[in-house]
Amino acid sequence: MALVKFSSVGLRYGTGSEVLHDVNFELEAGTFHFLTGPSGAGKTSLMKLLYLGQKPTRGIISMFSNDMSTMPRKKTPEIRRQIGVVFQDFRLLNHLSAFDNIALPLRVSNIPEADIKKNVTELLRWVGLGDKTDSRPPTLSGGEQQRVAIARAIINRPKLLLADEPTGNIDSDIGIKLLSLFEELNRHGTTVLIATHDEDIVRHFPHPQMRLEEGTFLSTSPKTRSEAA
Amino acid sequence: MSRKIFKKYGYDISLDEGVGAHLICWVTGLMIFFVTLMMAVNFGLSSITQSWVTGLSGTMTVEISPPLPSAEEEKISHKSRKKFNNIIKDVLTLLKDNVAVSEARLLSEKEVENLIEPWMGQSITLDGLPLPALIDIKLVPNADTKALRNSLKTLDPTVTLDSHIDTLDGIRTLVNTATLFMMLLTSVIIALAIVIISGIVRSKMLIHQAEVETLHLIGASDEYIARQFRRHTLRGTLKGALYGLVCTFITLFIICYITRTVGGDIFPRPYLTPSQWTALLLLPITVGSLIAHLTAQATVLKELSQLP
C-alpha cells in the first residue's frame, strides 16, 4: 500500500508559472529513494509538499491513506508528527540546547518528560553527541548541528523521513556515513526520501532515483526497495 | 530539574529575547495605571456624593433673609433687627409645633460664619455683613414638606425652605457625567490596549517566524504555539500590572495628600470601602490579564491559520 501518493500535482507560487506540474508518483512503505535533478528543478518545492509545508495549487496528495485536500486543518499536526524532516538549513532553535532541540517533536506530542529524557539521551549517544547535551547549536560544528537535526527528525520514529540536501555542507566521507545512518533507519522500517544533487552519493548507494527536471518527473514511477534489489 | 522548570515555565520560542521583548509589560502597566486610577477617582467621587446625599437627605434648611440697611443708613436699624429676631422666634415656634418636623436647631452666628468662610476666605472679615439666620431641621419620614413650606411663607415671605434637591441633583448630574466620561475613557484605553497587544504579538510572530514555522512543521498544534505566546503575554501583563498598581497607589497617595491640604473644608474626605480597595487591587489585574490573554490567543490563532 502506498504511503505517499501524488496525483497530477501542480504547484505555483503566487501568480508565477508552475514550478511543479503533473507530478505523479507513489512511495511504498519501507522504501529508500533519492530525489535528484538539477538546481531549480523543483526538488525543494516537492519536499515542501511532502512535509506539508506548502499546499499544492492542483492535484491530490495522499499521505498515510489520508487525502490531504479534504483533511481538516486541526488534524494535520498528527500527520506531520509521522514525518521526520532534515531541513537543508537544519532549522535548529538557537536558544535551546541540543537536548531540547531533539526533544521538541516529543514535547509537541505531549510525551511524558521522563520518557523524553530517556529517549533523547539515548539518541544523543547514538548520533555521537552524548557529551553535547547542553550545548546550543551556535556552539556546535556544522556536522554536529546536522546530527542534532537528524536526531530531531527521527526521535518520533517517523513513518517517512525526508532529507533535503543532507550532504550539501559536509565532505563526502561524512556524507557516506550519514547515508549509512539513513539506511539503518530504513532497515527498521522507515520510508526514506533524500533530495540531493550529489551524484557521488547516489552512485554509492544502490537505491532508486526519482529525477525531476523542469518541475516534472522524467523517469517512470519510482521502484520499491524489493524491485531495486 | 532545570529541564522540568524549562518545560513548565519556559518557551520553545525565544520570546524573552529580541526587540520589544518587554513591550507588553509596559503597555499593560500603563493601561492598568490609568484604569485603576480612574476606578479610584470614581469610587472617591461616589463616596463624596454618598456622604453629601446622606448628610442632606431627610434634612432641610430654613433660611430667614437678614434685614438690609436702607440707602440713608449705614447700619441696620434697631427696629429692623428686632423684627428679624421676632421672625426667627416665630419660625422656631412654628417648626416645633409642626408634625412634619422632628427637630429644629438655630445655627449660631459662628456656625453660619464657619459655613461661609471657606468660600470667602479667612482674610475677609464678616463683621457687619448681613448674615441670614439658618435653622437646620430634621423631618419625620414621609413629611409633608409642601404644607410646611406654605406655613412658613404665610408667616413671612422672606422665609425660604431649602430642600437641597437642586444641590443634590446638581451633584448627581456632575458625578454621573464624570462616571460616564471615565467609563468611556476606560473603554478607549481597553480598546487601545487590545490593538497594541495584538500588534505586539503579531510583531513577535514576525520576529520569531522561523521558530514558529519550525514548530509548526514538526507537528506542533496551533494551540501549542498559541500557548507559548499566551503565557509570555500573561507573564508580561502581570508584571506590568504590578508596576501599574504601585504607580497608581503612589499617585493616589499624592492626590489624597493634596486634597487634604487644599479645599478640605469644602469637600468631604473621600472614603473607600474594603470591597472597593479589593476591587482596585484585583479587578484591573484580572480584567487586564484576561484581555491580554484572549487578545494574544486570538491574534496567534488568526496568524497561524494562514500557515498550510
CB-CB neighbors (< 8 A) of A45 in chain B: none
The answer to whether A43 and A164 are in contact (CB under 8 A) is yes
List, for residues A126-163, the tens digit of each pLDDT value: 888 889 999 999 999 888 898 899 999 999 899 999 99
Q: How far apart are CA A10 and CA A67, in angstroms?
A: 16
Q: What's residue B160's pLDDT?
A: 85
Question: Half-sphere exposure of residue A117, counting CA atoms within 13 Å on the CB side?
Answer: 9
**Beta-carbon separation of B3 and A100 below 8 A:** yes
List, for residues A181-212, the tens digit of each pLDDT value: 889 889 988 999 999 888 888 888 889 999 88
Tell me: pLDDT of B72 over 70: no
Q: Tell me whether residue B41 is exposed, middle or buried, using C-beta atoms within 10 angstroms of its C-beta: 0 to 12, 13 to 18, 19 or more.
A: middle
Strands B133-139 and B59-64: antiparallel
Mean pLDDT in residue range B242-251: 92
Tell me: pLDDT of A10 over 80: yes
Beta-carbon contacts of residue B269 (< 8 Å; ≥ 6 apart): B259, B260
Main-chain phi, psi angles of B28, to 5 degrees = -70, -30
Among A73, A85, A156, beta carbon nearest to B217: A85
Among B7, B211, B308, beta carbon nearest to A93: B211
Tell me: pLDDT of A226 over 70: no
> pLDDT class for B124, splitting at 50, 70, 90?
low
Mean pLDDT in residue range B70-95: 80
Q: How far apart are CA A219 and CA A25, in angstroms?
A: 10
Q: Tell me whether residue B5 is exposed, middle or buried, using C-beta atoms within 10 angstroms of its C-beta: 0 to 12, 13 to 18, 19 or more.
A: exposed
State which CATH number among 3.40.50, 1.10.10, 3.30.70, 3.40.1710 fits the domain covering B59-163: 3.30.70
DSSP codes, chain B: -HHHHHHHH--SS-TTSSTTTTHHHHHHHHHHHHHHHHHHHHHHHHHHHHHHHHHHTTEEEEEEPPP---SS-SS--HHHHHHHHHHHHHHHHHHHH-TTEEEEEEPPHHHHHHHHHHHH-TTS--TT--PPEEEEEEEPTT--HHHHHHHHHHH-TTEEEE-SHHHHHHHHHHHHHHHHHHHHHHHHHHHHHHHHHHHHHHHHHHHTHHHHHHHHHTT--HHHHHHHHHHHHHHHHHHHHHHHHHHHHHHHHHHHHHHHHSSTTTSPPP---HHHHHHHHHHHHHHHHHHHHHHHHHHHHHHHTT--
pTM, to two decimals: 0.75
List, for residues B106-122, the tens digit of each pLDDT value: 888 888 877 777 667 66
**Beta-carbon separation of B12 and A94 below 8 A:** no
CB-CB neighbors (< 8 A) of A74 in chain B: 221-222
Q: What's residue B114's pLDDT?
A: 78
Q: How far apart are CA B33 and CA B241, in angstroms?
A: 8
Strand partners of residue B230:
none
Query: Could you tell me what percent of chain B has a pLDDT over 70?
Result: 84
SS (H, E, C) A63-83: ECCEECCCCCHHHHHHHHCCE
Strand order in the sheet with B159-162: B101-106, B133-139, B59-64, B159-162
Count other C-beta atoms under 10 Å from residue B142's C-beta.
7
The answer to whether A120 and A103 are in contact (CB under 8 A) is yes
Q: How far apart are CA B113 and CA B125, in angstroms?
A: 10
Tell me: pLDDT of A228 over 50: no
CB-CB neighbors (< 8 A) of A109 in chain B: 219
Q: What's residue A220's pLDDT?
A: 46
Strands A191-195 and A32-36: parallel
The alpha-carbon gap from A23 to the nearest alpha carbon of chain B, in Å, equals 20
Tell me: pLDDT of A219 over 60: no
| Among B57-66, B161-170, B180-189, B298-307, the least confident range | B161-170
Q: Touching check for B17 and chain A: CB below 8 Å?
A: yes
Tell me: pLDDT of B229 over 60: yes
Chain A interface, Cβ < 8 Å to B: 51-55, 73-74, 76-78, 80-81, 83, 85, 91, 93-96, 99-100, 104-105, 107-109, 113, 117, 152, 156
**Beta-carbon separation of A152 and B14 below 8 A:** no
Give the chain B residue whose CA is nearest to the CA of A105: B218
The alpha-carbon gap from A216 to the nearest alpha carbon of chain B, in Å, equals 23
> pLDDT class for A48, splitting at 50, 70, 90?
very high
Give the chain B residue whose CA is nearest to the CA of A85: B218
Identify the residue among B215, B218, B303 best suited for mutation to test binding to A, counting A beta carbons within 10 A and taking the highest: B218
Mean pLDDT in residue range A63-76: 91
Q: What's residue B21's pLDDT?
A: 67
> pLDDT class for A93, splitting at 50, 70, 90?
very high
Q: Touching check for B15 and chain A: CB below 8 Å?
A: no
Tell me: pLDDT of B53 over 80: no
The answer to whether A156 and A188 are in contact (CB under 8 A) is no
Tell me: pLDDT of B270 over 80: no
Q: How far apart are CA A89 and CA A29, in angstroms?
A: 27
> pLDDT class for A97, splitting at 50, 70, 90?
very high
CB-CB neighbors (< 8 A) of B3 in chain A: 99-100, 113, 117
Q: What's residue A37's pLDDT?
A: 87
Q: Touching check for B217 and chain A: CB below 8 Å?
A: yes
Q: What's residue A160's pLDDT?
A: 95
Q: What's residue B264's pLDDT?
A: 54
Mean pLDDT in residue range B217-233: 93
CB-CB neighbors (< 8 A) of A108 in chain B: 215, 218-221, 224
**Beta-carbon separation of A117 and B3 below 8 A:** yes
Q: Touching check for B144 and chain A: CB below 8 Å?
A: no
Q: How far apart are CA B241 and CA B296, in angstroms?
A: 16
Tell me: pLDDT of B151 over 70: yes
Residues B9, B13, B19, B21, Cα dihedral to 10°: -20
The angle subtended at Cα A222 by Cα A217 and Cα A227, nearest 5°, is: 155
Domain boundaries, chain B: 7-54+168-304, 59-163
Mean pLDDT in residue range B11-22: 77
SS (H, E, C) B12-38: CCCCCCCCCCCHHHHHHHHHHHHHHHH
The alpha-carbon gap from B28 to the nearest alpha carbon of chain A, in Å, equals 27
Residues A84, A89, A90, A96, Cα dihedral to 10°: -140
| Among A6-20, A182-196, A204-218, B279-293, the least confident range | A204-218
Among A51, A95, A108, beta carbon nearest to B220: A108
Q: How far apart are CA A161 and CA A81, in angstroms?
A: 11
Amino acid A150 reads I
Strand partners of residue A5:
A26, A62
Mean pLDDT in residue range A39-68: 92
Mean pLDDT in residue range B234-257: 90
Q: What's residue B128's pLDDT?
A: 66
Most confident region among A170-174, B179-183, B253-257, B267-271 by mean pLDDT: B179-183
What is the average pLDDT value for chain B, to the nearest integer? 83
Mean pLDDT in residue range B33-62: 82
Tell me: pLDDT of A52 over 80: yes
The terminus-to-terminus CA distance of chain B in angstroms comes to 36
Q: What's residue A112's pLDDT?
A: 92
Quote the cell numbers at residue A52: 506539508
Count other C-beta atoms under 10 Å from residue A43's C-beta.
23
Amino acid A111 reads I
The answer to whether B24 and B236 are in contact (CB under 8 A) is yes
For residues B297 and B176, which has the higher predicted lDDT (pLDDT)? B297
- Residue written as grid cell 529525477: A211
**Beta-carbon separation of B7 and A113 below 8 A:** yes
| Among A1-10, A12-21, B207-216, B259-268, the least confident range | B259-268
Residues B28, B31, B32, B37, Cα dihedral to 10°: 160
